[in-house]
Structure 1
Amino acid sequence: MRYFRICGEDRDHLAVQEGDLAYDLTTANESIGSFRDLAAAASITGDPIDAVTDRLLDRAPTVGRAALEDARRPLDPDEVWAAGVTYEISEQAREAESGMPEMYLNVYEGDRPEIFFKATAERTVGPGAAIGVREDSEWDVPEPELAMVLYRGEVVGFTIGNDVSSRSIEGENALYLPQAKVYDRCCAVGPAVVSAATVDDPHDLEMSMTITRDDETLYDESTSTGEMVRTCEELASYYTCHNAVPELAVLLTGTSLVPSEEFTLREGDLVAIDIDGIGRLKNPVVTV
């Protein structure tokens, strides 16, 4: 099942798409106003989130496709974290930007993955909203990623993430990574959260990204999450290990779609990321 946040008359509602139909879960039960509410209910009952949804469908009114197309950010994560250097091409790109290339090779081949803080909800945007590039950066790129959604440390779903990054700042000094990664509008998620039970194998999903500027396509490539050197389970275990994780979090799993070194994002660009079964996350670019 795919979960969306849609605009209601008085507040945002949680909707679920099953097949060709979509249903308003909040109208069926006003206590289920968000994906967080649904995950909390499932945690209390000990049921999968889709099982809780199934019990609401009989009294949930249907919603039109237009409501889903205008969906907002599907959830408000307390924290967004990310994993780095999980694909070979990402390791090569980080080597190219850095004066210490062996550092990234050691992470790619090492036992311990790179896990770093990325954003809060206030720094994160949803579909259609603008992602940001820093005004003090000269080289900026989108990083399309499969994202895990965790409730109290347990993976309950997947979405699409865009880990927008300043390569020039990170490349100048590895200790500048937080400034290269964490800033206003540095992350996008959406358009929906797909329940973990719906995704047969998160390591076998086609992912693609296009970047357009003034109606000209500058980048159009695809890959598979099967190229990831780490598993989702491994990344989640390192994120939760010895860490006081928040109630609702998103963990980005790394990117394998990297534009050439000559490319940098500019204000007005449009970035579209597609992942099988999840949908399309599309965002314009602004300078922040």
Structure 2
Amino acid sequence: MMPGDHVLLDALPADWRAGRFLGRVLTAAGPSPILVDQGIAYDMSKVAPTVAQLVEMLPLGSDGGEALGALDSLELPLLSPVDLQCVKAAGVTFALSAIERVIEERARGDAGAAAAIRGRLEERVGGSIRAVVPGSPEAAALKAALIEDDLWSQYLEVAIGPDAEVFTKAPVLATVGAGAQIGIRSDSTWNNPEPEIVLIGNSAGSAIGATLGNDVNLRDFEGRSALLLGKAKDNNASCALGPLIRLFDDGFTIDDVRNAEVALTIDGPEGYRLEGSSSMNQISRDPLELMRQTMSEHQYPDGFALFLGTLFAPVQDRDEPGRGFTHKVGDIVAIATPRLGKLVNEVVTSKDATPWTYGLTALMMNLAERGLLKAAKEKADA
């Protein structure tokens, strides 16, 4: 499944003509940032050669851009909507996901042991952990009780403690977009998608918009050891973003993110179908608090993308009873919410996914050959 017209038409938000969006397309000359305003797409590469630079210029209009036509008739393939931004992710931001991470840890990555552990944890902390505010005195009291019951975990620390888990999900330019293949490690036997909303921040740490993301999770690897987080999270094609970045304005605000319902469907090659959802109003930490913690001791001069976490944790059995859900090659994963559109990707192994070969050197050489770096410098010096 490759990017193309059919993917774009199905991916657009319900009110795409009213919103303003940033994204990237693959032109004959190379990757170019686009601005979508009143339903018209503009190639903005001569205004700023990267999306990261466009973000720093907001608010901006289409002046200087080349009109490509109506967004719904765009014939250029969509790429991931970020380029030079660092891709970060916040983990264990929902109570249910916290419980599932503890299950992975206690099961040592064994899916068959999960059901019994889940029952005990739900009985002991299910209601309490959903009600507690992270970092509060009530959270500290719950922590003390769980330690006494020998149920404490490093995952509960980031779920209800004062400090959020924030990690780097993918290298710059390694993310894939709508319609691309998404990869899981070939040696993983327990894994799932993570449907999330992703905030886009500028270099000052302000949220300028949002997109959808799939933060693929390898439950067996991370369950064996939290020190395997890098292998569990950062693999070829393991991070999908898109279809476009919707910019915040009077018609789309951070409150739309806070109240979004993110739907997920998985259609397997054997006829299997799973449906789920993630309600952002159940998040334990406010999205802007997660942005603040990401920037508290670091700088991101090219901006950053921040996955906000997910409530979705599939426990339905797919094959063997008691082993829950895991991906199969050929699964079609669709993540959708009306204001951001739909992100659809086909699951393959990371070994079989299209290799990542277009890195920073290739991008800079392409922009230099097109004269876009020189033009950008002249604009900056003017």
Q: Do they fold alike, i.e. is TM over 0.5? A: yes
1:192 aligns with 2:244: yes
Contact 1:4 1:72 in 2 (8 A): yes
TM-score by length of 1: 0.87
Contact 1:148 1:158 in 2 (8 A): yes
Q: Kindly provide the amino acid, as one letter, of the partner of residue 54 in structure 2.
A: L
1:180 aligns with 2:180: no
Contact 1:80 1:249 in 2 (8 A): yes
How far off its partner does 1:224 sit?
A: 2.1
1:52 aligns with 2:69: no
- The residue that corresponds to 1:134 in the other structure is 185
Contact 1:86 1:228 in 2 (8 A): yes
Pairwise CA RMSD of aligned residues?
Answer: 2.3
Q: 1:89 to 1:108 in 2, by over 3 A?
A: same
How far off its partner does 1:96 sit?
A: 1.5
Q: 1:254 to 1:228 in 2, by over 3 A?
A: same
1:72 aligns with 2:79: yes
Highest CA radius of gyration, 1 or 2? 2
How far off its partner does 1:13 sit?
A: 3.5
- The residue that corresponds to 1:123 in the other structure is 174
Which structure has the highest strand share of the two? Answer: 1
Unaligned runs of 5+ in 1: 43-48
- The residue that corresponds to 2:347 in the other structure is 285
How far off its partner does 1:85 sit?
A: 0.9
Counterparts of 1:286 and 1:39, CA distance in 2: 32
Contact 1:267 1:286 in 2 (8 A): yes
Counterparts of 1:219 and 1:121, CA distance in 2: 32
Q: 1:18 to 1:251 in 2, by over 3 A?
A: same
Contact 2:94 2:309 in 1 (8 A): yes
- The residue that corresponds to 1:264 in the other structure is 326
Q: Kindly provide the amino acid, as one letter, of the partner of residue 82 in structure 1.
A: A
1:93 aligns with 2:100: yes
Contact 2:27 2:76 in 1 (8 A): no
Query: Which of 5, 13, 29 matches 2:32?
Result: 13
How far off its partner does 1:159 sit?
A: 0.9
Matched pairs, number: 276
Contact 1:2 1:16 in 2 (8 A): yes
Contact 1:6 1:72 in 2 (8 A): yes
Counterparts of 2:326 and 2:76, CA distance in 1: 29
Counterparts of 1:239 and 1:196, CA distance in 2: 20
Contact 1:211 1:219 in 2 (8 A): yes
Q: Kindly provide the amino acid, as one letter, of the partner of residue 199 in structure 1.
A: F
Counterparts of 2:302 and 2:37, CA distance in 1: 26
Counterparts of 2:349 and 2:287, CA distance in 1: 32
Which piece of structure 1 moves more, 78-87 or 210-219? 210-219
- The residue that corresponds to 1:36 in the other structure is 52
Contact 1:94 1:101 in 2 (8 A): no
Contact 1:4 1:68 in 2 (8 A): no
Counterparts of 2:152 and 2:181, CA distance in 1: 32
Counterparts of 1:178 and 1:101, CA distance in 2: 23
How far off its partner does 1:286 sit?
A: 1.0
Q: 1:265 to 1:69 in 2, by over 3 A?
A: farther
Per-residue displacement from partner, 1:31-86 (whole Å, max 9, x unpaired)? 2344223123x2xxxxxx2x3125568x7453351327842211214421111111
Counterparts of 1:282 and 1:238, CA distance in 2: 30
Which SS does the other structure have where 2:313 is aligned?
A: coil
Q: 1:177 to 1:23 in 2, by over 3 A?
A: closer
TM-score by length of 2: 0.67
Counterparts of 1:75 and 1:280, CA distance in 2: 16
Which piece of structure 1 moves more, 133-142 or 243-252? 243-252
